[in-house]
């Protein structure tokens, strides 16, 4: 059974953890709708980038998205049932 070769001291642990800090996200506000937007990315609310409409936020696309999501939700339960059986068979074969 594998064991650690040497004890990790508290200072060693803290020095390693000095790089664990998360970086702050620089979000700006959309000039059109005022929603918070990530830099160099189109606004998810109104679909504009640099004062230009990039993403289509029409009703047609919304309907298509809803339809595709509905299909996925209907199809998922049938797919979920056989999946655990495969996982179990793999685990039993390994052990």
Least distance from Zn ion to the Cβ atom of residue 35, Å: 5
Give the nearer residue to Zn ion in terms of CB position, either 35 or 62: 35
Give the nearer residue to Zn ion in terms of CB position, either 35 or 76: 35
DSSP string, 29-76: E-TTT--EEETTS--TTT-EETTEE-S---HHHHHHHHHHHHHHHHHH
- 18-57 residues near Zn ion, rule: CB under 5 A: 30, 32-33, 35, 43, 45-46
Least distance from Zn ion to the Cβ atom of residue 40, Å: 14
Least distance from Zn ion to the Cβ atom of residue 82, Å: 43
Between CA 67 and CA 47 the distance in angstroms is 21
Angstrom distances, CA of residue 87 to CA of 72, 76, 82, 92, 94: 22, 17, 9, 9, 11
Give the nearer residue to Zn ion in terms of CB position, either 5 or 51: 51
Binding site for Zn ion (CB under 5 A): 30, 32-33, 35, 43, 45-46
């Amino acid at each position: 059974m594998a064991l650690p070769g040497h004890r990790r001291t508290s200072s060693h642990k803290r020095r390693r953890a000095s790089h664990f800090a998360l970086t702050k996200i620089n979000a700006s506000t959309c000039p059109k709708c005022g929603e918070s937007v990530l830099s160099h990315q189109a606004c998810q609310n109104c679909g504009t980038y640099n004062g230009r409409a990039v993403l289509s936020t029409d009703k047609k696309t919304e309907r298509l998205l809803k339809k595709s999501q509905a299909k996925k939700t209907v199809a998922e339960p049938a797919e979920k049932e056989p999946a655990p059986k495969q996982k179990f068979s793999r685990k039993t074969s390994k052990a």
